[in-house]
Structure 1
Amino acid sequence: MSQTFLPPKWLEQLCDPYAVLGISVTAEDRQILKRYHTLAKLLHPDRHTKSSNPDEELATAIFSHLINPAYEQLKHQHKRYAAIATLLSEARVLQQQALSSESAIAQEMREMSTPEAELFYEEAIACYAEAQYKSLHQFYQVTQQISTLNLVYLDLHKPHLFLPQKPLTIIPEVEVKTVEPTLCENTNVKPVLKNYAQRHYERAIEYTRLTKWTLAVQELRDAIKLEPNNSDYYALLGFVHLQQKLLGMARVYITQALKLNPQDSLALKCASKLKIQPGEKANPKSIAKALSIAALLSAFKDGKRSQVKC
């Protein structure tokens, strides 16, 4: 095989540009651009001009025929929606297939609760991405695993979370009253900005009271995206995970809440139950899940391709 031209089965992976770049389907613009820059530094032809790397041609081909087209597709929002729509169709097909055709890590994710699967999915993608281009000859197998995880994740979630929402066409009739214009002494009145993060938090509190854990988690994740330094959001998210007996994730969020506010009352109560020591540093990964992923990926990282079940 000439290294300048990639085999057709490699080019077919462009149907999942997220997998080609080694990112999750929830990746935002900043994450997509950051990953592209990382791969550009690793695979760009200029990096090999003064070296005698035998994989120079293969790296150039992968960068030119896979990385660049995948990035071009994902950097445009409308093309990104088209890619998600295609993957959703494939996810429905995957759902009808026997689970035996999936990797062990994909089957493990299917058996998890929704919030646990979300954290596991992000961790798995990160681990696969680390190994994806370390050996260019293993790129195809690793990318296949990422693509499978993407399809399983999409299958476990509602499609409307990933596609643009259509505006509501039914608008209730509102009685319009004629108001006589009046002069106002204060003409510099500024509109009151709505705190959408607080609204997510308040809905999460209500869902927590109703023990609707999945809905509470989603609201809190949205709140954290808007206000990433609010300890109340992390504390309640840790409490929700604790109620679900997801102790690893509970520790992550409670530790982060205490890092932001050591006096947060809810975080302190949960910390005592989780036996979190004062000053303990936040760890963004659940240790148990990270270890299980690392075990499945050890063959890629050690370069022992035959040990990995694809």
Structure 2
Amino acid sequence: MSQTFLPPKWLQQLCDPYAVLGISVIAGDRQILKRYHTLAKLLHPDRHTKSSKPDQELATAIFSHLINPAYEQLKHQEKRLMAIAMLRSFALEQKPLSSQSAIAEKILEMSTPQAELFYEEAIACYAEDQYKSLDQFYQVTQQINTLNLVYLRLHKPDLQSTQKAVSILSKVEVKPVELTLNQKTDVKPVVTYAQRHYQRAIEYVKLGKWPLAVSELRDAIKLEPNNSDYYALLGLVHLKQKFIGMARVYIHQALKLNPQNSLALKYAPEVKIQSGKNTNPKSMATAMSIAALLSRFAQKKGSQVKW
């Protein structure tokens, strides 16, 4: 099938392969591969057997001429870094981006730790709807591209440091973190995919590999959003990175789900949370406003985001 089947402006989206796949610019190898497999299933011809012929052809064309080339670019480290460099250059040269997106404007008002958390949640929100309606693909991908450019404008350091977290952190002497793993949890005896993410996160925490632990715990929370242990450990990870506001948000959520969570109770005083009392620190108010903003966006798109 010829590439001319797709509008030229759609093909131009390949300048941001991250936006085409619906992932953040700090996504690692595993996240890129996982997203590619998800899109391969979503756009497979078998899923469109009941659709009209034009819809089937459109799904095939998008996968062949957009998804595949984007994945080919991002699965190679050197090409990935070239894509980041090009996007960063474009972000720094372009006119102010805030007017293009209400969410982008919100990010520009935040502190760096808050912006990073909000950015990834916003990308996940857009990604949910990106390919549900192929007619809306172009508009949603544009929004993701705007978020990527805003993030790159805010984060001047080379993202190589994030993508090579394992090799860098292994050279740094990190004090082991003391964790009580025999505490009571709500996890069932049968090991789930969420628990596997959680167990890997525990190992990364012991090694002081914070970015990898954060990634595993976010995956666990997506699969089991009501497990207090995941939030408590994520709060601890942010605390060890000295992101106090973010640590407070997750430890607070852990105690909300389970007031007796031992790990959350242990570190609550360090983030100024008094157990047994309803507190409303400034960072929690900010987090709730972020959640409300994303929720309004999700309602407009016909989907819901769980927080």
Decide: shared fold, TM above 0.5.
Answer: yes
The one-letter code matched in structure 1 to 2:84 is I
Match of 2:274 in 1: 272
Shift of 1:24: 0.3
Conserved in 1, the CA contact under 8 Å of 2:119 and 2:151? yes
Cα distance in structure 2, aligned partners of 1:74 and 1:258: 42
Match of 1:23 in 2: 23
TM-score by length of 1: 0.65
Give CA deviations for 1:89-143 in whole Å, capped at 9, x if unaligned: 111112xx14564211101100100000001001000000001111111100000
Alignment of 1:115 onto 2:116: no
Give CA deviations for 1:128-171 in whole Å, capped at 9, x if unaligned: 00011111111000000000000100110123233789xxxxxx
Shift of 1:224: 3.8
Match of 2:282 in 1: none
Closer, same or farther in 2 for the Cα pair 1:130/1:53, shift >3 Å?
farther
Greater mean alpha carbon deviation, residues 33-42 or residues 99-108: 99-108
Match of 1:65 in 2: 65
Shift of 1:46: 3.9
Any stretches of 5+ residues in structure 1 without a counterpart?
Answer: 166-193, 202-218, 278-285, 303-310
Conserved in 2, the CA contact under 8 Å of 1:197 and 1:223? no
- Match of 1:112, SS state, is coil
Shift of 1:293: 1.2
The one-letter code matched in structure 2 to 1:45 is P
> How many residues align structurally?
246
Alignment of 1:237 onto 2:238: yes
- Match of 2:158, SS state, is helix
Closer, same or farther in 2 for the Cα pair 1:199/1:253, shift >3 Å?
farther
* TM alignment of 1:219-238, pairs within 5 A: 221-222=210-211, 224=213, 234-235=235-236, 237-238=238-239
Superposed CA RMSD in Å reads 4.0
Match of 2:133 in 1: 135
Conserved in 1, the CA contact under 8 Å of 2:99 and 2:105? no
Closer, same or farther in 2 for the Cα pair 1:127/1:274, shift >3 Å?
farther
Closer, same or farther in 2 for the Cα pair 1:52/1:138, shift >3 Å?
closer
Give CA deviations for 1:264-290 in whole Å, capped at 9, x if unaligned: 63335644169479xxxxxxxx54322
Cα distance in structure 2, aligned partners of 1:245 and 1:18: 25
Alignment of 1:159 onto 2:181: no
Give CA deviations for 1:226-262 in whole Å, capped at 9, x if unaligned: 99799788337359555x5985356357779999853
Give CA deviations for 1:23-70 in whole Å, capped at 9, x if unaligned: 000111111111111111111234334654651111111111101111
Shift of 1:71: 0.7
Closer, same or farther in 2 for the Cα pair 1:275/1:20, shift >3 Å?
farther
Match of 1:13 in 2: 13
Cα distance in structure 2, aligned partners of 1:159 and 1:88: 10
- Match of 2:274, SS state, is helix
Greater mean alpha carbon deviation, residues 49-58 or residues 250-259: 250-259
Larger RCO (CA under 8 A, 6+ residues apart): 1
Cα distance in structure 2, aligned partners of 1:148 and 1:249: 27
Conserved in 2, the CA contact under 8 Å of 1:109 and 1:121? yes
Match of 1:93 in 2: 93
The one-letter code matched in structure 1 to 2:300 is A
Conserved in 2, the CA contact under 8 Å of 1:59 and 1:136? yes
- Match of 1:62, SS state, is helix
The one-letter code matched in structure 2 to 1:127 is C
Match of 1:198 in 2: 174
Cα distance in structure 1, aligned partners of 2:46 and 2:34: 19
Shift of 1:296: 2.5
